[in-house]
Each structure stands twice: as C-alpha cells, then as structure tokens.
Amino acid sequence: MNIINEFDTIAAISTPFGTGGVGVIRISGEKSFEIITKISDKNDFPSGRICHCWVLDNNKKIDEVIVLPFKAPRSYTGEDVIEIQCHGGVHVVQNILDIVLNNGARMAERGEFTKRAFLNKRMDLSQAEAVDDLIHSKTSDFAVQSAKNLSGVLGQKIKDIRSVLFEVSSRIVAGIDFPEDVQEPDYNYLIENFKHILGEIDKVLAGAKSSDILRQGIKIAIVGRPNVGKSSLFNALLNLNRAIVTDIAGTTRDVIKENIDLGLPVTLIDTAGIRDANVDKVEEIGIEYSKQSASEADLVLFLYDASIGYTKEDDEIYRIIKDKKHLIIANKIDITDKPELVTEALKLSATSKEGLKELKEKIKSLVLDLSPENLEFVTNKRQQTCLIRAKESLERALQAAQVNELQDMIYIDLKSALLALDEITGEVITDEILDNIFDHFCIGK
C-alpha cells in the first residue's frame, strides 16, 4: 500500500498567531504544486529552489511572498510540500491560508505534518516525539537534549539493542525450527546476552528521572522568618525586582510565583515570613499559605539571617520543613564578620549576590542526577513504559535461561521484549497510540 497516494492535501499556518516579521503557511500532499500555481502569478516552482511571487485571489494581489517548493520524497513529510513565507500580519497569513483551503487543501490536524513524516518513514517515532519536545521545551538545556533525539540518538540506541536481541531470538528460532540441522544456542550464550541487553536498557532508563524533571520542571518555595531576605533572594534568582523588599517585617503577605530557567524549569515561590506574635488577619492567612507552599514544593529554600544568627524561631520553622527536600541558607553574609553558621548552610548575600551561582548549581545537582551517563538519553513516559516492559520480559527470559528452561518458552518473552522496543521507534504501533502522541502537537507542525 502506498500511503503517500492515500493522503489528501493539508495546509496550516506554521508560525505562531500574532504579528511578526514573517508568517509561514505550509501545504503538504499531492495537490501542493497545483495549488500554489493556481493561487500565484508564477507557473514554475522547481523543487529545492527559492521562488519569489505574488499570491493572488481572483487576480487581486494579496501579498508578495517567498515560496519554498519540495518535491516528494525529499521534504519534511515525504510528500510534495510547499511553504509560503509571507508578511507576518495576522490577517495576511489567515487570508493566504483561506485561499489555499479554497483551492483544494483541507485544514491540517494537530501534528499532522509530523505524523505524515513518520508514516512516510522520514523519521522514526522517537524523532517525531523529539519535534514536540523541542518546540515545547521550557529550558535551553532541554531543547539541546531534545535536538539530540531529533537527530536520532535515542532511536539508534533502541535499534542497536533490538538488533542484538533479534540475533539471539533468530538463533533460538532456527534451533526450534530445524532441530536436525541447527543446534539450539548454548544457555551461557543466552544468559550473557540477556545480561548485556538488560545493562543497555538500564543505561537508557538511567536518564528517566532527570528527563521527567527537565520536561515538567519543579516547584521551589523560599521559606523563613520575616525579614531574613526571602523576597530579596526571589528577586535575585529572577534577576528582576518582582517582589517588594523592605526592612519592615511582614512585607510579603501573599504567595508570589514566577517561572525561571535554572537549567531546569522552575516555578519559584516567595512566601510570607512565618511568625507567631502580633500578626493581623491578612498576615495570618499569608503565613498559612506559606506553610502550604512549603508542603507542596519539590524543594524548600530555608533562609535564616546570618547577621542575627540561628534563632529559636528559625528552628521552629525548620522543624516544619525538615522532612522535605531542602537547602539551609545563611543569608546576609555581607554584613556579618563571624556568621554563626549552621554547618551545612550555604552562605549567601541576596543583595550582593555572593553565593548565588553556587546556590543555583546546588539546586540543580540536588534535583537532577547530573552524571553525564545519566543525561545521555532523554526519554518520555511512553518510551519509559516500553523500556520497562522490555526489561521485565528480558528478566523473565534471563531467569528461565538460568534454569535451562525450554527455549520455546524463553522465546515467548523475547518476542514481547522485541515488540516493546519496536513500539518506541514506532515499527509496531496502534492508531490509538499514534493519535494520542500527535494530539499533543500544535497545528502546523
């Protein structure tokens, strides 16, 4: 079956909605060239050449554009593709899309261009998923990791693991099918190979936790007594005067949240200083919110004022958060000669920014497992589930081989492991899983 011929022609705006320098309308499918010829003042669009023309609507000039024509199969989707670069006004772009749709294309669904690229074997499924990760990455680090997968790093690794597994499986099948001619493989050979493959799967899974954090991000709450410098640290980490800072205790009364990139996506939360005495109703509610923020955070930055020292009140707050993942920070080290420091506290001055870089590094290393081998492979939940399934099947095969189980039985588990690996690259995949993946994409991608 030739999938390419089965598809109709789709179109969408590929640039974000809004005003910009350029807007891009993408068309894919066998009518792409026919449509651009119909709607422009130019007849010839040689593949791979930049073409300049006007888009027309019933001879009325709509915009002066650049057209990038790509003949199948050498295009993003593997089909005939036309990309129109027009001026980036909301209405210009929409007008051109409407003209394209009125001349034989239909509106593309979410992720349909990339889905076609996958179905036409321009990329495997791990690369298609990397496209989405790259677009939606919340930090520059994760964008770089996603680009690695786009280039096929994860897909290739899975194919390498699969090929070893396939080789072992083939030898078992040959032994089963032709017992007179082919000897069944030695059990030690099986055990050795299963252990090797399990080790390789573990290498890919080692980055799972970090991948999840890099993709989703974490919540960090800054907590402490009034006036210890929480809002000052909040502003310093944001590099912006976002929260009000004064020398009046009880300045911050509400929870303030901002997103920042600390190499991982972080929602940073500034809270009201926690104290018991003389608080009014508003501050009391603020203090409740602070405790709640601390309990919901993935990491708590617990601040005390080093120029005053670690007090009984500090310790009372510390006891609220001590069971959470936390960092103790001795702030205002710029105005104290001999800070009475808690041994494990990080020394910081939120105003002079001394110690700020170290704090950022410490946060990153506490949350992510940053050893290079653990960041070699970025995976998403779907891929991790497939890897775990492959691993469980192989573990069963290993146990069976260790007790010299019949090789027919071992083969059943190997087949499940192969299937699970094939789901990662999309060699074997159901429509439901595909729809689920591409439904998360943007229109026009």
Q: Which is nearer to ligand GTP, 246 or 402 (CB)?
A: 246
Tokens at 93, concatenated: 């772009």
| Given 114, 149, 210, 232, the residue binding ligand GTP (CB under 6 A) | 232
Binding mask 186-225 for ligand GTP (x = CB under 6 A): --------------------------------------x-
Does residue number 290 form part of the binding site for Mg ion (CB under 5 A)?
no
Residue 331 contact among ligand GTP, Mg ion, none, beta carbon within 5 to 8 Å by kind: ligand GTP
- Residue reference for tokens 């910009």: 20
Tokens at 170, concatenated: 């083939």
Residues 243 to 282 in contact with ligand GTP, rule: CB under 6 A: 245-247, 249-252, 272-273
* Min dist. Cβ of residue 332 to Mg ion (A): 14
In this structure, the chain runs to a length of 445
| Given 193, 331, 393, 407, the residue binding ligand GTP (CB under 6 A) | 331
> Judging by DSSP bridges, how do beta strands 51-57 and 60-70 pair with one another?
antiparallel
Nearest C-alpha neighbor of 211 from the set 267, 265, 157: 265
Determine the size of the site formed for Mg ion (CB under 5 A). Answer: 4
Binding segment toward Mg ion, per CB under 5 A, in 114-122, 226-234, 317-325, 409-417: 226-234
Q: Which is nearer to Mg ion, 36 or 300 (CB)?
A: 300
Q: What is the rounded end-to-end Cα distance, in angstroms, of the chain?
A: 25
Binding mask 332-371 for ligand GTP (x = CB under 6 A): x-xx-------------xxx--------------------
Residue 334 contact among ligand GTP, Mg ion, none, beta carbon within 5 to 8 Å by kind: ligand GTP
Determine the size of the site formed for ligand GTP (CB under 6 A). Answer: 24
| Given 252, 290, 384, 393, the residue binding Mg ion (CB under 5 A) | 252
Q: Which is nearer to ligand GTP, 185 or 250 (CB)?
A: 250
| Given 23, 111, 185, 226, the residue binding ligand GTP (CB under 6 A) | 226
Distance separating alpha carbons of residues 431 and 433, to the nearest angstrom: 6
Q: Which is nearer to ligand GTP, 354 or 373 (CB)?
A: 354
Q: Which is nearer to ligand GTP, 182 or 320 (CB)?
A: 320
What long-range pairs does 197-203 form, CB within 8 A, spacing at least 24?
197/161, 197/164, 197/165, 197/394, 197/417, 198/391, 198/394, 198/395, 198/398, 200/157, 200/160, 200/161, 200/164, 201/161, 201/387, 201/390, 201/391, 201/394, 202/391, 203/373, 203/376, 203/377
Does residue number 240 form part of the binding site for ligand GTP (CB under 6 A)?
no
Torsion of CA 34, 40, 44, 45, to 10 degrees: -80
Nearest C-alpha neighbor of 349 from the set 362, 336, 367: 336
Binding segment toward Mg ion, per CB under 5 A, in 28-36, 45-53, 201-209, 250-258: 250-258
Binding mask 179-218 for Mg ion (x = CB under 5 A): ----------------------------------------
Q: Which is nearer to ligand GTP, 303 or 400 (CB)?
A: 303
Q: Is the Cβ–Cβ distance between 251 and 279 less than 8 Å?
A: no
Residue 40 contact among ligand GTP, Mg ion, none, beta carbon within 5 to 8 Å by kind: none
What DSSP string describes 199-237? HHHHHHHTTHHHHHHHHH-EEEEEEESTTSSHHHHHHHH
- Residue reference for tokens 């690695």: 148
DSSP assigned state of 391: H
Q: Is the peptide bond before 73 cis (omega within 30 degrees of 0)?
A: yes
Residue numbers at the binding site for ligand GTP (CB under 6 A):
224, 226-232, 245-247, 249-252, 272-273, 331-332, 334-335, 349-351
